[in-house]
Amino acid sequence: MRNPKIVFVGAGSVVFTQGLLADLLAYPELRSINLVLHDIDPERLEVAEAVALRIAEAQGARPRVSSTLERRAALEGADFVINMIQVGGHASTVTDFEIPARYGLRQTIADTIGVGGVFRALRTFPVLDALAEDIAAVCPDALLLNYTNPMAMNVWYLSSRVRNVVGLCHSVHWTMRGLAELVGVPYEEVTYQAAGVNHQAWVLRFERQGENLYDRLDARVDADPELRRRVRVEMYRRLGHYPTETSEHSAEYVPWLLRHGGEIDRLRIPVGEYLRVSEENVREYERTRDAVRHGAELEIAGTDEYAPQIIHSMVTGAPRVVYGNVVNDGLISNLPAGCVVEVPCVVDGTGVRPTRAGALPPQCAALNRAYVSVGELTVRAAREGRPEHVRHAVMVDPNASATLSLDDIWRMCDELTLAHGELLPEALRVTLAT
């Protein structure tokens, strides 16, 4: 595959676009790619194209760069499609936090499960329908690389519509880098295996040359009281396997923490954290826009994301292992068939091949099954046009069910339904509380 066509959908996420491009163009074999940027926001798209050209020049690359507001035109003949849309933007994120907060429900990130994850998925599904239709029409053999959250729900929803789709997240990679640093071992010398679901996978093996590095981690945790004030360390101590997502994320996937003010203080849980992140993302975009307009220097830094690695391997045949979110076709034996799991994948010139992880430790699988149930009901709500399943999804969510009464869950879902309005699938725009 020479000079592949790569399409960024949601390229107006300028900072993320910037990092992916720096990674892509760092490979000599990819410096002449055909890059097409698509977004529905003209200003953001203009900034993204300017940034792409600046990065290419700085890295001595000569890609063919174009941009368009028309998604199907962008996708025509694509080899790779990278999806990074955020439907509703910052305003919808604020809604996902503020309405539940009025009911006493605390959230930290609200993009994976929980009521925030459910409604983020429901806003995204109609756009995924349109994207899948366009891919089927003009690039049916393209590999769709999804970065949009909620990862597991979105890939699950797409799996019945798109022939080739893999969800990508950096959580395993950066967790392992952090653990290597924590135990004082160079990352390049660590071997590991993780598996589970996105944002709640588990480090099953953590070694260096046959040494079990969990022993070193135990010693560090025992010696440092401040380490024990992290949610993921607390989960590791109780469950025996380290979770592959940050404490901020992990806190809202379980029933034991956010309902208790004392636990929030003890484990330093930053309630409402993603509101601050989202606001900073807007400011960072504005800084990049202003820098482009005034000819100021841009910071260009790679991100070690998986999408450029996958594209490089498929173009060159160079084998490597990445972590992907894929349909569970016997990959994890004690999680439901058909759900989306995160496992190691081998990539080379033939494509992306998930590997089998077998059975997770039972306590880890039990937590994952609660997570999977929220996703299953959300996907079913949209596929089957059943608004009651939206409420069922929130009813079985660990954090919401530990905090709210059934009446409050249904009333809260009604409020969110009215607030998000036409962004939701048409069949789900109804209120059900009595």
Residue appearing with tokens 């530990």: 402
CA distance 126 to 123: 7
CA distance 62 to 56: 6
Burial (Cβ within 10 Å: 0-12, 13-18, ≥19) of residue 297 = exposed
Inter-residue contact 170 to 321 (CB < 8 Å): no
Residue appearing with tokens 């368009």: 68
Other Cβ atoms closer than 10 A to 69: 12
Per the annotation, the verdict on 170 as an active-site residue is yes
Between β-strands 80-83 and 143-146, what pairing exists: parallel, antiparallel or unpaired?
parallel
Radius of gyration of the chain (CA): 21
CA distance 170 to 149: 12
Residue appearing with tokens 């009604």: 414
Between β-strands 340-348 and 351-354, what pairing exists: parallel, antiparallel or unpaired?
antiparallel
Contacts of 422 (CB under 8 A, 6+ apart): 429
Cα dist from 210 to 189, 214, 322, whole Å: 11, 12, 22
Tokens of 236: 């590791």
Of the candidates 170, 173, 249, 294, the residue annotated as catalytic is 170
CA distance 230 to 247: 6
CA distance 52 to 22: 9
User: Residue 35 — φ and ψ, nearest 5°?
Assistant: -110, 125
CA distance 159 to 195: 19
* H helix or E strand, kind and range, residue 351: strand 351-354
- Catalytic residue positions? 170
